[in-house]
Structure 1
Amino acid sequence: MNILQNIHTFDVQTFYWFMARKHRARLTRIGRAISFTADGPLYVAAAIIFWIAGYDTLVAVLVFGFLLERIVYFVLKRGFKRNRPADALDDFCSFIIPSDQFSFPSGHTSGAFFIAYCLSEWFPSVNMMLYFWAANVGLSRIFLGVHFPTDTVIGALLGIACAAFMIGLLV
């Protein structure tokens, strides 16, 4: 149990470091916009556009991969039941109201890295832009005060793992 306590202590210290940034208010405003891009409806719109454009295999990877990612995400979320920063820290309130109770892992980050990995396989010329966006989704979730840093790191790994698995399975 000592290792979990050490991770939590590191997470809290890193979280407070993020919150102490000089331009946090501006970063929070930007974070809302970036976080919105990973809410989910834009993924559905993208899948429809790719389907219309004839990228049937990509659409299959996106649909089945997201199903896998969401299942694993919910199992982890319900299994770990890690409180969000506003519930875990006495002196903190988040800047948005999260969609669910628990923090670990970050679903927005997982979804963003899932999309970044999948689209990078089909469109490698834009992979830097996609991963930059995905990383900023993860950072935005921290700056909005709804996730600890390790929530976003594990979310990123979850998204990448599900994408790699589904691409390996279907392509």
Structure 2
Amino acid sequence: MWQKLDSLDRNAMTRLQQMPGQAVWKPTARGISLSGDGAGYLLFAILMAETGGARGVTFLLAGLAAFAVELPLYWLLKNSLKRCRPCHVMGDVVATVQPHDKFSLPSGHSAAAFIFASLLAWYWPPLAPLAFAWASLVGLSRVLLGVHYPGDVLAGATLGLWAAQLGLSWVA
């Protein structure tokens, strides 16, 4: 089963890497990926806690709880599964950004983006479509940049959704 999933992942990766218009989508993907880097989540949550009243404070607390669960699980999975990044094992895939480490499963950017999107959707429901569209684009950008397989992104998104639900159950 794992071999079949790996084969599907590699085929999807190859197709995505061969899309036309790389001069346009690679810089766009890089910018979207950058928007999913970690520091912005904490800064936004602190700003919301300062300006958003009780809702902003619980948003911050739920985020801290969710990330307290997600980060150790992410590192445990990544360092146990040890799936090599596509840019390290597929000759036709070149990373457009420098990966943070050598393993790819799960995608930490995707996990974090889906935690953030889930919490935004819970505390400010009108933002849900935009938040989840952005989180999906963060995941897609990691594939387009050559550092994750689509399955890594799906696993990261699942981890993020689960961690957000757990964080919300502890705080909300």
> Could you tell me the TM-score, scaled by structure 1's length?
0.96
**Corresponding residue number in structure 2 for 1:60:** 61
Identity of aligned residues (%): 32
Query: Is residue 48 of structure 2 the alignment partner of residue 47 of structure 1?
Result: no
**Corresponding residue number in structure 2 for 1:32:** 30
The 1:122–1:46 alpha-carbon spacing in structure 2 relative to 1, beyond 3 Å, is same
How much does 1:124 deviate? 0.3
Q: Distance in 2 between matches of 1:63 and 1:42?
A: 13
- Report how many aligned residue pairs link the two structures: 169
Please tell me whether the aligned partners of residues 17 and 93 of structure 2 are also in contact (alpha carbons under 8 angstroms): no
Query: Is residue 107 of structure 2 the alignment partner of residue 106 of structure 1?
Result: yes
**Corresponding residue number in structure 1 for 2:94:** 93
**Corresponding residue number in structure 1 for 2:73:** 72
How much does 1:143 deviate? 0.5
Q: Distance in 1 between matches of 2:41 and 2:57?
A: 15
Q: Secondary structure at the match of 1:72?
A: helix
Q: Distance in 2 between matches of 1:106 and 1:25?
A: 24
Q: Distance in 2 between matches of 1:154 and 1:84?
A: 14
Q: Secondary structure at the match of 2:20?
A: coil
Q: Distance in 2 between matches of 1:47 and 1:91?
A: 39
Please tell me whether the aligned partners of residues 96 and 144 of structure 1 are also in contact (alpha carbons under 8 angstroms): yes
How much does 1:27 deviate? 1.2
Instruction: List runs of 5+ in structure 1 lacking aligned partners.
Output: none
C-alpha RMSD of the superposition: 0.9
Please tell me whether the aligned partners of residues 24 and 143 of structure 1 are also in contact (alpha carbons under 8 angstroms): no
**Corresponding residue number in structure 2 for 1:18:** 16
Instruction: List runs of 5+ in structure 2 lacking aligned partners.
Output: none
How much does 1:91 deviate? 3.4
> Could you tell me the TM-score, scaled by structure 2's length?
0.95
